[in-house]
Structure 1
């Protein structure tokens, strides 16, 4: 999600056959096919996890403006779960028992498509996540990569699909600015927006990444390391694993700041085409996407967004929706301007679906979220405005799906699960539990926690409605 924002950065659903008690009970339940005798061992030993189930579905494919899975249309209501590989890491970083329980809860709610961070870089950013998967160019933490192995193995056992992004425009996982620092010998501190408050300067520096050959060589090494990996638990090569729906170039790649991004447009478009082609050559059975925010992440230029995705190397479009970050809705009081913000948000959705239809490709709303009532962070605080927001967004997506339009799925931002902070400033510190809010944001800003029953009910209702479409 966007790291910066202007100025700084209702109901209990009717659950039908899926009762709230079933979903919440899944937090403490193992998968039905996990032998009781192996449960405790599985928490600390990757070898205890069974191989991929024979009931697993195949690879997701694209036919025109829709996804197809095993010969049938594939549509989904998913979640962002950026820290999934972190939870899957061995003891000391991960929490495999929590991971299994939360995958059970998500699956029980009908959420079976997860968007996950697959590469992070060690950095000096004040709010960077620690530890990182890449400690230095060409050097990778095998234990952290085993965390991704474990996540994919557990997702396969539940027949869930993963969208894995391989870089980040923003600072919270190191990302493009860290590559720039490695290549230039500079320090990230001078461009750290959490120290300087200069988001435009940070974005322009991050976008230097596209034009630095050495940074691109290291990035491709990271791509090859992950995409070319064989799962240490299942023995299945990643490129042969249908759990991986799509490889994403980065989280929210931008050509630069809103003010200066268009100057980098040609290099940005070329980078997308060439990198997507490189990934396609490594993983021909799987899809490739950009991770773009859409018009807002394209220097406010829809034509640039279209141009960047008008390549056969990109299988489908993505876009994100952040109305409070973009000042359409008030951060501190989401209810205050909710109606007008929703109208603008729904128009943003419609315009992107129309663009995808004209390009003849599917599109996914792969991030959207809203603050809790009164801008609170406490998981016990209300979510009435957020619930109205989720309902309206889902209703529009379902309507467009029912009409046969190009929208194929969504991933809300973000699953926070059991994660909680006890820090007075609500900010993450190394060793704290992970939530859906990455380290540069207050832990509770956009997270959907396991206790958010009303919102989870809305998500589940939508997932069941989407799965019921012909």
Structure 2
């Protein structure tokens, strides 16, 4: 679509503004590197969706202290926590953190002490421990309220999940919430980046995908473009410096008959990792990795551990250079290579998990280091939490148990010494490269 003369001038002015000196403490990009105050910024980070769910300042401080001591520099957490109006009484009783309450096809924000003031505390405290935050605006899945709440309340009983990405009323409601978060923290150097959605897919936990989101439609790619442009341009004058990323799992859309039934490569999930990196307001690339749940055939072999490890190594390499290191999965090589070279953006392995951690993580982490990734395992485990005597049911099966933060089977605690050491050693390497 052609821009009007006025729009073209505005975008030109905005581009010049963003090229200006970045304020002290804000992370930015320079080619394939992150940069902080004029120096390279490479890191090992962590995921902690539960940080804003903690109810005591002391436990928030304790968690960040443990992260700092482990060498963590960036933490990814949810900037969303939404409930239905019918859940409000229970949330008040249990002291659950919530930012949005949905009712009558709309939501109201909770900026009180049980709401966004808890996120305020997390953002403020992060800076005290020299840690930056990736803040995610919404969830593809049902956990803690996400896209399906927008669908249920605004669209009624939609047949398919992809309506979330295309319905104008839903998009406007999402953007109103994004505005609430961005305006609140636009001046904070403790924010590393805004993230548009956790693991956007054509389908969700509740709704299937539909004909508007099939391989080649670019429904999610267009949504990424629309929302990143919204964040960048609408808030540019007051917030030109925070980076933006997708939050996607990094599935590919490769035109190859051999992968016609593998949604990680054939576009069924709705993502096109290579295409997404060409978007002008996506500042860096992220992807996730869970081969045990994604690729069930890997578990049918007597050499399951080796197969899972090899699959992950290929997945890391495919994202770092667009092609596979040993060419066993060589697909659409010319297109992938060109896009990877043109994008020239930093890359984060933003989520990953496996059950046999001690056998597999060393090679995965080393491959990420060798290909100049930043690394963020799922998920950080904190010990010694004291709220409610160290035992508190938060929501779903998430709980603080015997002083330990929620564990979905993938949490990494300091007393898991062999696993902990993998990441603390990698953190030291990344810190040494940030000079």
TM-score between both structures, scaled by the size of structure 2: 0.74
Partner of 1:170: 141
Contact 2:98–2:116 (CA under 8 A) maintained in structure 1: no
Which one of the candidate residues 350, 363, 367 is aligned to 1:396? 367
Contact 1:317–1:364 (CA under 8 A) maintained in structure 2: yes
Matches within 5 A, 1:69-88: 69-87=36-54
Partner of 2:124: 153
SS of 2:130's equivalent in the other structure is coil
Residues 1:155 and 1:289: Cα distance change in structure 2 (over 3 Å): same
Residues 1:228 and 1:151: Cα distance change in structure 2 (over 3 Å): same
Partner of 1:120: 81
Structure 2 runs not aligned, ≥5 long: 1-22, 254-262, 323-339
Q: RMSD across aligned C-alpha pairs, in angstroms?
A: 3.3
Displacement of 1:431: 8.9
TM-score between both structures, scaled by the size of structure 1: 0.69
Displacement of 1:265: 3.1
In 2, Cα distance between equivalents of 1:264 and 1:174: 29
* Residue 361 (structure 1) aligned with residue 322 (structure 2): no
Displacement of 1:132: 2.8
Contact 2:252–2:274 (CA under 8 A) maintained in structure 1: no
Partner of 2:164: 209
Which one of the candidate residues 410, 415, 425 is aligned to 1:451? 415
293-302 vs 443-452, which deviates more? 293-302
Which one of the candidate residues 189, 197, 201 is aligned to 1:250? 197
Aligned residues: 357
Matches within 5 A, 1:60-459: 60-87=27-54, 94-123=55-84, 131-136=97-102, 137-142=106-111, 143=113, 144-186=115-157, 205-229=160-184, 238-256=185-203, 261-262=213-214, 265-281=217-233, 282=235, 283-295=239-251, 300-301=265-266, 304-327=272-295, 337-355=304-322, 356-371=340-355, 385-401=356-372, 407=373, 409-418=374-383, 428=397, 443-459=407-423
Residues 1:327 and 1:427: Cα distance change in structure 2 (over 3 Å): farther
SS of 2:161's equivalent in the other structure is helix
334-343 vs 278-287, which deviates more? 334-343
Structure 1 runs not aligned, ≥5 long: 1-55, 88-93, 188-203, 230-237, 372-384, 402-406, 438-442
Contact 2:391–2:400 (CA under 8 A) maintained in structure 1: no
Contact 2:392–2:399 (CA under 8 A) maintained in structure 1: no
In 1, Cα distance between equivalents of 2:399 and 2:417: 29
Displacement of 1:304: 2.2
* Residue 466 (structure 1) aligned with residue 421 (structure 2): no
SS of 1:295's equivalent in the other structure is coil
SS of 1:164's equivalent in the other structure is strand
Displacement of 1:156: 0.6
In 2, Cα distance between equivalents of 1:288 and 1:433: 37
